[in-house]
Amino acid sequence: MSVIFFTLIILIGSYFAGLLGSLTGLGGGVVIIPLLTLLLNVDIHYAIGASLVSVIATSSGSAAAYVKEGITNMRLGMFLEIATTAGAMCGAILAIYIPTHYIAILFGVILLMSALLSLRKKAEQIITEKSYLAEKLKLNSSYPTANGTVNYSVRKVGGGFVMMIFAGTISGLLGIGSGALKVIAMDTIMRIPFKVSTTTSNFMIGVTASASAVVYLQRGYISPGLVMPVVIGVLFGAFTGSKILVHTKSSGWLRWVFAIVVSFLAGQMIYNGITGKI
């Protein structure tokens, strides 16, 4: 097939990846990599490079909106970015040395985990007891809601920090945003309100991805002819998704569809990794 045809397929595929990713909060990267490696036989290094760049694009675009609204906790994000960027750097370096079939298998496992996690019921508990570390680091804050400003505190700062190192490493290794892992760290471990954890996670994803992208750039993982349609497609898809999201209520069934599709792709990645096809 020609470059034009190839690029067109990727554009369309990336568009749907971005669309589905933004509607379900799972991110486009998780679909892009299987799409490129399984369907188009692209080497996994080029695929994770392209995916990572698209993650930066969508993160920057959406984070801009949430920061302005004052929901994102910038200090929390900044503090946790120490962990995520350090992890991302390690992950990117590991990616150079780990054989590709292990990367494929790990990718499939993380993908499966993300799919299952996205189906969890979210029980929100806003805590107000003060933690010493959270106070010292000025992490406790508030965010605006329809009913006025809500104050919240942060706890288990250390635990959240460690989880973030892991999230960053996975992001750097697999070329994904690791939004699901970041949200677990903030939501479950640090007990931060859901809206704040998702917007702050989004905010952090960009810098985390950049920390590993600079390594990818030097290693030649980022191929412009491939990245171009991916990043354009995903961005438009994510943009469309965000517009739809504003107008619809709950995306329960869509989340199930996505979880099933993603689980299938995860299985394929693991299978291909094990049989050495990737």
Tell me if 65 contacts another protein by CB under 8 A. yes
Per-residue tokens: 245: 């999201």
Give yes or no for residue 242 binding another protein (CB under 8 A).
no
Q: What is the distance in angstroms between the CA of the first residue and the CA of the last residue of the chain?
A: 21
What is the 8-class DSSP label of residue 75? Answer: H
Contact present, 93 and 163 (Cβ < 8 Å): no
Nearer to another protein, 219 or 255 (CB): 219
Q: How far lies 221's CA from each of 12, 125, 164, in Å?
A: 22, 42, 24
Residue type, 69: E
Exactly one of 224, 250, 252, 253 binds another protein (CB under 8 A); that residue is: 224
Task: Give the CB-side neighbour count of residue 220, counting CA atoms within 13 A.
Answer: 1
Q: Is 209 in the site for another protein (CB under 8 A)?
A: yes
Binding-site member from 17, 20, 35, 79 for another protein (CB under 8 A): 79
Residue 39 beta carbon to another protein: minimum distance, rounded to whole angstroms? 12
Q: Contact region for another protein (CB under 8 A) — 77-85, 104-112, 117-125, 154-162?
A: 77-85
Is residue 74 near another protein by the rule CB under 8 A?
Answer: yes
List the beta strands (DSSP E) in the chain.
141-145, 148-152
Q: Is 231 in the site for another protein (CB under 8 A)?
A: yes
Per-residue contact track with another protein, 40 to 59, x per CB under 8 A?
A: xxxx-xx------x--xx-x
Site string for another protein, 80-109 (x = CB under 8 A): -xx--xx-xx--xx--x-------------
CA distance 126 to 153: 8
Sign of CA dihedral 98, 165, 86, 118: positive
Q: Does 217 bind another protein (CB under 8 A)?
A: yes
Stretch that binds another protein, among 2-10, 18-26, 127-135, 268-276 (CB under 8 A): 2-10
**Short-list 147, 184, 149, CA closest to 164:** 184
Rank residues 7 and 188 by Cβ distance to another protein and give the closer one.
Answer: 7
Q: CA distances (Å), 187 to each of 112, 124, 183, 239, in order?
A: 19, 8, 5, 25
Among 98, 119, 214, 260, binds another protein (CB under 8 A): 214
Q: To which residue do tokens 């709950």 refer?
A: 250
Q: Which residues bind another protein (CB under 8 A)?
A: 1-4, 6-7, 36, 40-43, 45-46, 53, 56-57, 59-61, 63-65, 67-68, 70, 72, 74-75, 78-79, 81-82, 85-86, 88-89, 92-93, 96, 137-138, 206-207, 209-220, 222-229, 231-232, 235
